[in-house]
């Protein structure tokens, strides 16, 4: 996987540099088999924010002669919801620029790891793509309700922020302008 760097001044360039380094290391080691952590949307060359970097990494890995690679394209990581803790604690809401009624798949990272292990055990075709979507799709509001019930705040709501406010909030939380812009692009297209 390409480890994320949300503070990189140019996130896609950072992903390119790391991705090229990974590809060089794979070639130098003569690696024969690998599972690559990619993402839903990595089949698209543009419009998916930071996932564009994974589109390019899949192509890099597919081009390595003798490497049998499987690409995992998981849904939104449930663990990413932890980013809402501060908003919940301080404002009593969950929020982002995402529409509260937007339905999307979500998956736990342990399920992604289990899928990777399964593929390595049973084998896979070179360049194959494997989606890991989770047990069901959820709206952001359903997520807020489930979290609210779990923490004793059943009234917890999901609030949609204007794009500009969400972007400023991300920058205020330490994300680079580049990453905030990529997340903004991804969210707009998801919405």
Sequence-ordered list of residues with C-beta below 8 angstroms from that of 157, at least 6 positions apart, any chain: 93, 94, 100, 141, 144
Q: What kind and span of H or E run contains 4?
A: none
Classify residue 93 as exposed, middle or buried by CB count within 10 Å of its CB (0-12, 13-18, 19+). Answer: middle
Secondary structure of residue 61 in the 3-state scheme: helix
Of the candidates 30, 56, 27, the residue with the CA atom closest to the CA atom of residue 43: 56
pLDDT, tens only, 113-143: 999 999 999 999 999 999 999 999 999 999 9
Of the candidates 127, 20, 130, 2, the residue with the CA atom closest to the CA atom of residue 66: 127
pLDDT, tens only, 29-69: 999 999 999 999 999 999 999 999 999 999 999 999 999 99
Distance, CA of 17 to CA of 21 (rounded, Å): 6
Q: How confident is the model at residue 167 (pLDDT cuts 50, 70, 90)?
A: very high
In the chain, domain spans: 11-190
pLDDT, tens only, 64-107: 999 999 999 999 999 999 999 999 999 999 999 999 999 999 99
**Gap between the terminal Cα atoms of the chain:** 26
pLDDT, tens only, 70-80: 999 999 999 99
Q: Give pLDDT, residue 22.
A: 98
Q: Report the CATH architecture of 11-190.
A: 3-Layer(aba) Sandwich (3.40)
Question: What is the mean pLDDT of the segment spanning 25-29?
Answer: 97
Q: Give pLDDT, residue 46.
A: 96
């Amino acid at each position: 996987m390409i480890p994320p760097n949300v503070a990189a001044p140019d996130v896609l360039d950072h992903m390119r540099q790391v991705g090229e380094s990974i590809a060089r290391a794979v070639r130098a080691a003569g690696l024969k088999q690998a599972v690559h952590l990619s993402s839903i949307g990595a089949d698209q060359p543009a419009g998916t924010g930071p996932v564009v970097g994974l589109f390019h990494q899949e192509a890099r890995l597919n081009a390595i002669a003798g490497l049998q690679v499987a690409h995992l394209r998981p849904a939104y990581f449930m663990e990413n919801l932890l980013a809402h803790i501060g908003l919940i604690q301080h404002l009593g809401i969950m929020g982002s620029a995402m529409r509260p009624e937007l339905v999307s798949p979500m998956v736990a990272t342990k399920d992604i790891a289990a899928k990777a292990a399964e593929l390595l055990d049973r084998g896979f075709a070179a360049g194959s793509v494997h989606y890991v979507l989770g047990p069901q799709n959820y709206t952001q509001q359903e997520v807020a309700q489930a979290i609210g019930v779990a923490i004793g705040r059943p009234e917890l709501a999901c609030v949609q922020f204007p794009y500009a406010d969400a972007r400023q909030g991300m920058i205020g939380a330490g994300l680079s302008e580049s990453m905030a812009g990529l997340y903004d692009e991804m969210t707009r297209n998801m919405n």
